[in-house]
Structure 1
Amino acid sequence: MRALVLRGFGDAAVEEVPDPVPGPGEVVIDVACVQPSVTECMLLAGEPVAMHTVLAARLAAGPTRFGGHEFAGVVSAIGPDNSGMSQNFAIGTRVTAVETAACDRCAACRRSRPDACPAPQVLGFTGPGAFAERVVVPAQTIVPVPDGVSASHAAAIQPLAGAIHGHAIAAVRPGDSVLIIGAGVMGVLHTQVARLGNAGQIIVTGRSEAKRELAKRSGADLVPHAGDDVPAAVLEATDGIGADVVFECAGEFDLASRCVRRGGTIVMVSVLPDTHPAPLARLRERSVALLHPRSGAGGYAPGRSVFEHALRLMERGDVDVSGLISHRLDGIEALPEALRITRHKHRYGALGPAQVDVKNWSRA
């Protein structure tokens, strides 16, 4: 099969690789649609964000496959020891997959705390992902895609699940004022989730006029330009108090700390370098809580995972990701171009990641 191979930072090309073979408890998915995340693009280019040292060590050992955790496809092969797998996951089922899978062996997993697993598998990061024609994943991570959700929309489910996680840990209450720094993919999705959750005043910052307009259509009440005096705008909108909850989605940690109210909450959504400065004295003096969204499907309701909930929101039309999909490319060979567009969205006028249609649902 064909897949993206990384030979050095900034040196990625589609090459022939061996077909994946499912092991015990695994399945193979024929990829229908995949999109790169901004973090993946930064890492592939060599930027020193989270997991940079891990990827550098892998490259030092030779060419490697990296990235591809936002995708949708069709189950095409099932490994051994999957006899207990639900019929919903039979060959031919349209699915996506949760990017994080706990090991099921450590002390945390044995105590039903997979979120505390010290060595989870992360699709595309600890092993090959969906930047390929086919991908092998743990059967436990599969999530069926409802009939009313397209492959394109299903491929965008992971960022929406991340936004749901962010609002859950922040415990946004009806009427809370919410500031979202950044009108990119995560900013727009956080805006929609905030509006759906009955947040009060929603303020979204951004530089691109098109993205700020998209944030406004997604439910933002106020959309100041990121180059303006954002703290002054936030104080004016909140009667001088500051935002109850700030979702930092653009690497503007210091700005977040100047806009949050005393006793408020900052949720760090963006991925920052290890050495990024932090205004700890200001956070301490203002008693600000600093939170980080969890990854994976997680679960807050016993009957439904976050991925299942996010897909249901899409199916019902409660959340609309179509405005974030402005560039769609055809064929696996277009992956390097998709990486360039996603990393430099402003150059290409892209509103979100460039998606690659690898196969149609019917042909996958």
Structure 2
Amino acid sequence: MRAAIFRGGDLVVDTLPEPKPADGQVVVKTLACGICGSDLHAFHHAPKMVDAAKRSGSSFVMDVKRDIVFGHEFCAEIVDHGPNTQKTHKVGTRVCSVPVAITLAGEKANIHPLGYSNDMPGGFAENMVLNEMMLIEVPNGLSTEHAALTEPMAVGWHAVQKARLTKEDVPLVIGCGPVGLAVIAALKIAGVGPIIAADFSPARRKLAETMGADIIIDPAEHSPYTRWAEEATPEGYDPTSVISILGMGPKMRPAVIFECVGVPGIIQQMLEGAPREARIVVVGVCMEQDRFEPFFAINKELNLQFVLGYTPDEFALTLRHIAEGDIEVAPLVTGKVGVEGVKQAFSDLANPEAHAKILVEPWR
């Protein structure tokens, strides 16, 4: 089968052996697979990712000296059932799955993160193997390309769940790339608002509005934190009055700020800009060392929450939200390529004005 392969620090197109299913697994044809920011990180910083994962206690054991087929945002079609499967989904069924494959070695379970495994190909290959018990059938009527966005949208849904929102919260989303857009979509479903979103890119700001943001900020022109304060300040609130100091008068609405950029310096900017007792949810994945001054967070009694991924239930619920039209993902798909176009797509995604999400269709 053909695949776009991460090999020797580069992306090449080559032929690989067809994957063989283990007990309880099915063989699937990859219909569409999104290129994730994590794929771009892995391409540029693979050794650093592996080192940081090991030092943090993760089981992330990708060997960068061996072939890796990226791709974990996929929709696929069942083409064959492996041994000891229940055949709960017939051949030809379109499915999504949490991008993890599990094999058994005696009583020990080996977990393979699809897209970052040396032993099992991800979605930039024509075929993959998935665990039957983890398959979720794509609802009738939902397009393949929209179903493929379940995984990135689930990241935003998980982040919003971790924020422990109340109806009084005023959310602020910093960064409107795919992660920030997923957070905005989840906030819209949660019914909190107004949703304030900030990004330097005009194209991303337009997408943020499409996904449900109520107030769009260009940080080059206005401080998103000042704009947040304007929305969260009740009539009659005076922070210098004795009544406010004693907590007896009108109160500022609570702040929940989502960091969806993932570059050094953003957390420090948030600590400086956030109001007292704000909850900061870090969703962006920063692959560099970062520095911030804890005193800002201490002085303001800020809550800093880091998040990663999603639960299987959140993944399944996200697919249902997309299928029912609660999350409109169509505007996010800005390009499609075959395996030969993956390397160029990685470069093209560096321009936020050109692309939001590029889908790989390995069968092309």
Q: Is the TM-score greater than 0.5?
A: yes
Aligned partner (choices 341, 351, 354) of residue 358 of structure 2: 354
Give the structure 2 partner of residue 232 of structure 1.
226
- Structure 2: state its 5+ residue gaps: 54-59, 234-238, 240-251
- Sequence identity percentage: 26
CA contact (8 A) 1:67 1:130 kept: yes
Q: Over residues 126-175 of structure 1, what are the superposed CA-to-partner deviations in whole Å (9 max), with x where a residue is unaligned?
A: 34311100011222332111112111111111111111111111111223
Give the structure 2 partner of residue 310 of structure 1.
318
TM-score, normalised on structure 2?
0.83
Give the structure 1 partner of residue 236 of structure 2.
none
3-state SS of 1:354 partner: strand
Q: Over residues 228-248 of structure 1, what are the superposed CA-to-partner deviations in whole Å (9 max), with x where a residue is unaligned?
A: 433322223322858621111
TM-score, normalised on structure 1?
0.83
Is structure 2 residue 149 aligned with structure 1 residue 138?
A: no
Is structure 2 residue 7 aligned with structure 1 residue 7?
A: yes
Q: What is the CA-CA distance between 1:295 and the residue it aligns to?
A: 2.3
Give the Cα–Cα distance (whole angstroms) in 2 for the partners of residues 43 and 314 of structure 1. 28
Give the structure 2 partner of residue 345 of structure 1.
351
Give the Cα–Cα distance (whole angstroms) in 2 for the partners of residues 133 and 289 of structure 1. 44
Give the Cα–Cα distance (whole angstroms) in 1 for the partners of residues 22 and 179 of structure 2. 34
Q: Over residues 274-320 of structure 1, what are the superposed CA-to-partner deviations in whole Å (9 max), with x where a residue is unaligned?
A: 5222333322332222223342433xxxxxx2222112211221110
Deviates more, 1:183-192 or 1:16-25: 183-192
Inter-CA distance 309–66: structure 2 relative to 1 (3 Å threshold): same
Give the Cα–Cα distance (whole angstroms) in 1 for the partners of residues 25 and 295 of structure 2. 47
Is structure 2 residue 311 aligned with structure 1 residue 297?
A: yes
CA contact (8 A) 1:100 1:295 kept: no
For 1:59, the aligned partner's letter is: V
Give the structure 2 partner of residue 75 of structure 1.
78
3-state SS of 1:21 partner: coil
Inter-CA distance 48–266: structure 2 relative to 1 (3 Å threshold): farther
Is structure 2 residue 293 aligned with structure 1 residue 279?
A: yes
Give the structure 1 partner of residue 50 of structure 2.
51
CA contact (8 A) 1:98 1:296 kept: no
For 1:99, the aligned partner's letter is: P
Q: What is the CA-CA distance between 1:13 and the residue it aligns to?
A: 0.8
Is structure 2 residue 79 aligned with structure 1 residue 65?
A: no
3-state SS of 1:27 partner: strand
For 2:261, the aligned partner's letter is: A
CA contact (8 A) 1:203 1:223 kept: yes
Give the structure 2 partner of residue 113 of structure 1.
none
Q: Which has the larger radius of gyration?
A: 2
3-state SS of 2:278 partner: strand
Deviates more, 1:308-317 or 1:222-231: 222-231
Is structure 2 residue 85 aligned with structure 1 residue 121?
A: no
For 2:36, the aligned partner's letter is: S
Give the Cα–Cα distance (whole angstroms) in 2 for the partners of residues 145 and 194 of structure 1. 24
Give the structure 2 partner of residue 266 of structure 1.
280
Q: What is the CA-CA distance between 1:323 and the residue it aligns to?
A: 1.0
Give the Cα–Cα distance (whole angstroms) in 2 for the partners of residues 198 and 190 of structure 1. 12
Give the structure 1 partner of residue 196 of structure 2.
203
For 1:349, the aligned partner's letter is: A
For 1:338, the aligned partner's letter is: A
Give the structure 2 partner of residue 98 of structure 1.
98
Inter-CA distance 285–47: structure 2 relative to 1 (3 Å threshold): farther
Q: What is the CA-CA distance between 1:176 and the residue it aligns to?
A: 1.2
Alignment root-mean-square deviation, CA:
2.8
- Structure 1: state its 5+ residue gaps: 110-116, 299-304
Give the Cα–Cα distance (whole angstroms) in 2 for the partners of residues 306 and 103 of structure 1. 23
* Equivalent residue pairs, number: 334
